[in-house]
Structure 1
Amino acid sequence: RGKGKQVMLAGIVLLLGSQVALGMAGAGALGTVIGGLLAYFVAFNILEAQLPSMISRFAPAGARGSASGLYATLQFVGTFLGGAIGGWLYQHHGSFAVFAFCTVVTTIWLIAALGMPDAPPRAVPEPRPATA
């Protein structure tokens, strides 16, 4: 409890490390590829659960639905842009450029997240009076 920011930062750092490992893996580096993929998917699953939770904790009570909708929309816009940019980079510069670009973007995200405030505590619902 109360460790949301630290969990998110750990997920970003793990994602960053996996991208570096996968980008540096050469031919015949099966162990590095397996380790990088394992780290990537662990980080992905941490962040997949943590980010929507953080959104709902930062958003005001009356705007949580809108914030979640905007998050989902931007998630799919990011998926499209990531695929388009990654495809272009791969076609023109190779796989290392894709991992290098992802590493730069993730580093920027990590720096931004370091300055982020801790999430407010979850609101505890007030007990309702008993009805007869």
Structure 2
Amino acid sequence: MTSLIRHITVDCAEPHDPYELAEFWSQVLGFPVDPRDERGDDEVALEVPAGHPALLFLRVTGEKTVKNRVHLDLQPELPRDKEVARVVALGATVVDDRRTPNGRGWVVMADPAGNEFCIEVSAAERAALSGTNG
């Protein structure tokens, strides 16, 4: 017997609110906030397509003190650099820029609560790079 991933849980420490963090991720990923969840709830989820784990934002005590050991790697529809700019405009910050001169690499970002995630190149960029060396 095996297990399925039901939720990917994102911690949300004060002063951040799980609902507000869910709204941020809703704009990043294009999935709506679960209509059963409300402002002030300790747990707020995004509605995702059937068969995929939901993102769950959970109110926790204590601030984050170390780098996340698990994080999301996003492959955007837009070119990577345009997606980085879009997500920064939504409230994310750049933590580490790992882009390389040959067009590869990624950008380490943090959501408004400080949780890290990475933005990689888009599928189109990946296909164009597959013919290059390096």
Does the alignment reach a TM-score above 0.5?
no
TM-score category of the 2 structures, normalised to the smaller one: under 0.3
Query: Which protein has the bigger helix share?
Result: 1
- The structure having more radius of gyration, on CA atoms, is 1
What TM-score, normalized by structure 1, do the two folds share?
0.24
Whose relative contact order is higher, 1 or 2, with alpha carbons under 8 Å and at least 6 apart?
A: 1
TM-score w.r.t. structure 2 length? 0.24
- Tell me which protein shows more strand as a share of its residues: 2
